[in-house]
Amino acid sequence: MKEYNLEGFERGLFELGITLSEEQKTQFLQYYELLVEWNSFMNLTAITEFDQVITKHFLDSLSLVKVCDVAQAGRILDVGTGAGFPGIPLKIAFPEVEVV
């Protein structure tokens, strides 16, 4: 896997009050790489530049924590875009929560 600068991601996570393990950070990077790979076949998103995906897809998806105690939710309904937002980022960050 390619190396990425996670400073902006980690700053955004801190601002949201979210702590991720190294494994979870790796899962986000794997998701990013799959998104970019499959985007060339399926046009999943117009946003593919790493820093923009972090800000406009990953952190925006996780911003639900500002209005809801996601960790205590138990179950979240994802009615997102089809590219996996916000469901996949929420599931990576909160693996104990069922995302349907």
Domain boundaries, the chain: 7-99
- pLDDT of the residue at 81: 67
Per-residue pLDDT of the chain (100 residues; tens, 9 = 90+): 889 999 999 999 999 999 999 999 999 999 999 999 999 999 999 999 999 999 999 999 999 999 999 988 899 988 876 799 999 999 999 999 999 9
Residue 99: enclosing H or E segment and its boundaries?
strand 98-99
